[in-house]
Amino acid sequence: MKLLYSIHKYDVFMFTWLINTRAHTALTQTSRYLSKTGDGSLYLLIAGFLFCYEGIESPLLHAVLLAFLIERPVYFILKNGLKRNRPEAALQNFHSIITPSDQFSFPSGHTSAAFMMATLLGYYFPALLIPLYCWATAVGCSRVVLGVHFPTDILVGLLLGISVALFSLGQI
């Protein structure tokens, strides 16, 4: 329990530091847009595109579907099993910039899905891997800037997304 308390204390320190930086206000609007790219519509569009142009036999489409069939239940079990409060509920006198879609914060589903898709797409299109990981990192960071996640929520989302993607590709 001492380790979890230490991690939480560090998380709160990093979160508070970021929220109080001068750059926070400037990042807010950009973060809203970045966060929306991780809402899920883009993933459906990619799956639809793959289905239309490559058909049901698309290896990438298979990997994407398998990954989401694994990632969403694992994410749901972790989030609702661990029940870590979001910053607004955990910190006094703090209000997030957006209203999250659910109550708990750990892990970040936006980050998990973004890194999962970045890994899957990067596997099939290696030249895009670095820009895709930059986008996924920006999605994760946007969630902290918007005040709905702590930094470790993002870190665990990253690990979950990449792990599930590699599993669905048969790499682990």
- Tens of pLDDT, residues 102-141: 888 889 999 999 999 999 999 999 999 999 999 999 999 9
Is 46 inside a domain boundary? yes
pLDDT of residue 158 exceeding 90, the answer is yes
Is 6 inside a domain boundary? no
Q: Which domain holds residue 55?
A: 31-168
pLDDT of residue 7 exceeding 90, the answer is no
Give CA angle at 30 (117, 94), nearest 5°: 100
Hey, which residues does 104 pair with through a beta bridge? 85
Give CA angle at 79 (74, 80), nearest 5°: 100
Q: What is the domain count for the chain?
A: 1
Tens-place pLDDT, residues 21-30: 666 677 888 8
Is 17 inside a domain boundary? no
CATH number at residue 154: 1.20.144.10
Element (H, E) at 75: helix 59-82
pTM above 0.75, yes or no: yes
Hey, which residues does 85 pair with through a beta bridge? 104
